[in-house]
Amino acid sequence: MTGVARVPARAARTGARGIGSIVLLAICLAGCGPNPDAADLAIWRIVDHGCNATPATASGAQPQPARSSTSGLQCDSAQGYAVLKDRCGTTHFLLIPTARRVGVESPELLSEQEPNYFERAWNERGRSLAALPAPRHEDADIGLAINSRYGRSQAQLHIHIDFVQPEVRAALRGVSVAQGAAGTRLELMGHWYRVDHVDSLAQSPFTRVAGEWGARTEMDRARLTLAVVGDGGRGFFLLSDRADLLSLDRGHAEELLVPHSCG
């Protein structure tokens, strides 16, 4: 695979950020384990209590049929997901399973019986488009992203729905469908992403990316981060990266979306 373009991060980056940064990331990579604390389960509790008639527990009990949604939360238990307006960012929404799914590494995501969460998230993109006072944007301006275990703050799977950074959108315009079909590499926001082109989201991006990176175990899949961006037509660019200690890459595809201000 060959590099197509470079889109640098907004802040100046250096090859080495000091031993302190390396130690902190090493601690995260070694210690971000499967046992979340209360703060890590905040999103799960909102969805569980707002969408499930009998709230499940963090141990993985199966949720029951939906009840009325809470403020900022819309439940579709028949389709297995909820949409939550994030408190940060006018156009920032989250798609969250109504079943307990820890994150990108969850083995259930590789099952054909599992809801196709990325496809459902794309169907909800109109929420971001409608959130602007005077919408002047198109589908190709919207992106979906999920972070790796080492780039996330919540231990419940959630897909970010928001606008793509303008420089990311511009860089993707330089990637042809043929290049994406063969897989190519693109430097975005200071990190190298694999870029593939797909005609539809019918095949779960989780399954496709796990295969592309040879991520056969939960530990391998926990390092993956991925994003979906429309190509301006009916297809999609699928961007994926892998958390890497040596390059100080946390696997944070959310960086490809516009910053979510809480101010």
Helix (H) / strand (E) element for 236: namely: strand 236-242
Which tokens hold the place of 234?
């009916």
What span, in angstroms and rounded, lies between the C-alpha atoms of 153 and 82? Answer: 19
Q: Domain ranges in the chain?
A: 18-256
Q: Which amino acid is at 181?
A: A
pLDDT tens, position by position, 198-224: 999 999 999 999 999 999 999 999 999
Tell me what pLDDT residue 69 has.
Answer: 43
248: DSSP letter: T
Q: Are 77 and 65 in contact (CB under 8 A)?
A: yes
Q: Are 44 and 100 in contact (CB under 8 A)?
A: yes
More confident residue, 73 or 28: 73
The residues with which 184 forms a beta bridge, in sequence order, are 195
Which residues, 6+ apart, have CB-to-CB distance to 11 below 8 Å?
none
Question: Model confidence at 60, in pLDDT bands (50, 70, 90)?
Answer: low
The answer on pLDDT for 36 being more than 50 is: yes
Structurally, at CATH architecture level, domain 18-256 sits in 2-Layer Sandwich (3.30)
What span, in angstroms and rounded, lies between the C-alpha atoms of 97 and 252? Answer: 20
Tell me what pLDDT residue 196 has.
Answer: 95
Average pLDDT, the chain: 84
Tell me what pLDDT residue 134 has.
Answer: 75
More confident residue, 137 or 37: 137
Which tokens hold the place of 21?
């940064």
Helix (H) / strand (E) element for 117: namely: helix 117-123
Q: Say how far residue 119 (Cα) sits from the centre of its chain.
A: 12
Please state the length of the chain.
Answer: 263
Q: Are 173 and 237 in contact (CB under 8 A)?
A: no
